[in-house]
Amino acid sequence: MQYVKLFVAAIFVSNFVLAQFLGLCPFIGVSKKTSSAVGMGVAVIFVMTMASFVTYFFYWKILYMPFGIGVDAREYLNIIVFIVVIASLVQFVEMVLQKTMPGLYRALGIYLPLITTNCAVLGVTQLNIGRFGGESFISGLV
């Protein structure tokens, strides 16, 4: 039940676009047609969810392990690792769209690769490791 409440709160109360005004460029750029706006929304949701999943494990299982990595170095490394993970996921989405839905791929145009530099996607990954820590992985995904 608590995950349902968390899911509803994430959609309506803590929505990155509606409440915190992060990551507006791709949404404004492709909102002329409903089909392209939905396609961009699904792509961003997929990248955010998978990036949260992958970066959570990178941070807590690799970067946070005591390999002699100092706290300052870990802060820089996690940003670099997170951007590489996000860029890889965006490339995957781009290749899938190009092969399966070329019309949508052309409609999204330059805005599809801009998901990589979208501050909302990187912000979600940073918030998930900072706010939830190692305690609640499912809360971080929602």
Q: Tell me: the pLDDT tens digits for 80-91?
A: 888 999 999 999
Rounded Cα gap, residues 48 and 81, in angstroms? 15
Q: Phi/psi zone of residue 71: left (φ > 0), alpha (ψ -120 to 50 degrees), beta?
A: alpha
Task: Please report how many Cα atoms fall inside a 13 Å half-sphere around the Cα of residue 86, on the Cβ side.
Answer: 25
Residue carrying the six token digits 């997929």: 46
Could you tell me which residue, 141 or 78, shows the higher pLDDT? 78
> Which range, 34-38, 41-45, 69-73, 84-88, is most confident?
84-88
pLDDT at residue 104 greater than cutoff 80: yes
Q: Environment class of residue 52 by beta-carbon count within 10 Å: exposed (0-12), middle (13-18) or buried (19+)?
A: buried
